[in-house]
Structure 1
């Protein structure tokens, strides 16, 4: 959660309200998992004591090439929120260095926005036990119209296939490849992963992936596991 180090520039007011997430990721150094968890927990306690009113969610990547990577995010923001954090950024960075930064490497961060028109989700979907995450790498040659048409076509199919499970599309606005779109599917049971098998091949009237064959270069997936211990919800119970 090194918020002070993630610059926000050139954002436009057209982006949705309270649909913005700031993500941060780290690899945990070998044999430092316990030290990291203990230090990060202390850091959350320090933030709560500072009156931090933002929520923070932590996950561990369970599989794929990034297995073991820690991801955290602060959700449900407007763009203006990031100019008015109650916690002093410099002091926060200092305590990061004390509590847990020595135990991680390869940090990265990004701003992502929910594409609400193409998503179907319940409040607090990010507290689900698992998130199945897909990365759709597109060719990035148009202004986004083709990918939006694709997402519009697959939305009703995803709703039917997933039977009420929340699914959320996000685009990267800063801190990553803007031609890569993310799909999050919120799960509370491992067995629900079977609903995700072949999910981009579903179509009642032909394969949308074939129709947009030149648009999508490749798709990757991984499973994130929610960590309640490494999460903070200041307004829980209100």
Structure 2
């Protein structure tokens, strides 16, 4: 088995869930399950964020013109069902189901057509970025699938292939680099910030200009840097505690 990981980056106004996530950069969504047949798609998503963000997110899911994962920008006429399974102050669990029309398609439907049955899907969303991980057979025609997906996505989102590797059960969707520290997006953001002088005193570049150079929203860049800084700080403290534990005492 192999895993194929790629990302979509939605343009403003093309996906109501992405719009909410950009407006609330501390909010993320991960899939708990995702299933597809040629005629339908159903999934369960787990979102975390502020009460205000989750309220906006629930409204986006219930938007009459929105069907989860449908790549058609206009109203596709599909019969969609949305149901909240769990709601707390900082958690929202949503079930969605829709039957396809003649014009509907989605990432799972394109995958089913080109990669066959028996696929496992896992997703993670933050800001306008929507990452997909598909577990599939060794001989699946990945490039045919990715080319076909690009045609379906059209101009509403950018696409980026992140990795195609043998299945590693210890590697999560958020995907640490080889050093086991940061997801790809956070590592690139942090490297760009360092190289551009963002962390120097005084700063050589502000966050808005750096976001423009990286062609990402300012809120998304800020969120990635905060996540990266928190991860590195936590790792540093853990390593420091380990060193203290083995340090000789006088």
TM-score, structure 2 as length reference? 0.33
TM-score, structure 1 as length reference? 0.34
